[in-house]
Amino acid sequence: MHTLVLDQGYQPHRIISWQRAVCMIFDGKVEVVEEYDEDIRSVTICIKMPAVVRLLRNIVGRKRAIKFSRINVAMRDDFKCQYCGVRHRLRGLTYDHVVPKSQGGKTNWENIVMACYGCNEKKSNRAPHQAGLRLRRPPVKPKWLPIVAFHVDPASSIPEAWANWVYWHGRLESDP
């Protein structure tokens, strides 16, 4: 189970483990806003597992660069193949080097897109134009990713206790 951390203005800040949240509660760094139904028991106390907590102080820190990872590339590409545009679960997508590694392509934000297995096989070891494919949008390093983008699968859902705090947690029914 995870805990959603809100900043002082009740905006989503990050997601942490419930164990870390309990430590922050006892350290006086956060207040509990929502709880899960599960109990946490020790020899001397019994508390509800925190679902949403709010920071009591504003945390000023440097902006962290977004880590290059398969899940973050999938989130940047909205879990869609960047050649055919079809949305897939994460396991239905592969990394694709726009400029193939054999032709000097690097493994970085500006050269990797998500592709379905069919398009990746069609492209093979060629540039997209050589394979008769066109990118839906050029790969770029994102400046931010949504806080709820911790999901490994767009078909999964956020915890019910988070719904009031994370408004755009899924696609709208009218979204393709």
- Give the pLDDT of the chain (176 residues) as one tens digit per residue: 899 999 888 888 888 999 999 999 999 999 999 999 999 999 999 999 999 999 998 876 656 678 888 888 998 898 999 999 999 998 999 999 999 999 999 999 999 999 999 999 999 999 999 999 999 999 999 877 655 444 444 545 678 888 777 755 444 444 44
Q: What is the pLDDT of residue 156?
A: 57
Q: What is the pLDDT of residue 71?
A: 84
Q: How far is CA 66 from CA 48, 59, 98, 111, 160, in A?
A: 33, 18, 20, 16, 27
Tokens of 169: 């947690």
Q: What is the pLDDT of residue 172?
A: 41
Q: Domains (ranges, CATH) in the chain?
A: 1-63+156-176 (no CATH), 70-131 (1.10.30.50)
Q: Report pTM.
A: 0.59
Which long-range contacts does 69-73 make (Cβ < 8 Å, 24+ apart)?
70/95, 71/149, 71/152, 72/142, 72/145, 72/149, 73/109, 73/112, 73/113, 73/114
Q: What is the pLDDT of residue 32?
A: 97
Q: What is the pLDDT of residue 63?
A: 63
Q: What is the pLDDT of residue 49?
A: 95
Q: What is the pLDDT of residue 81?
A: 97
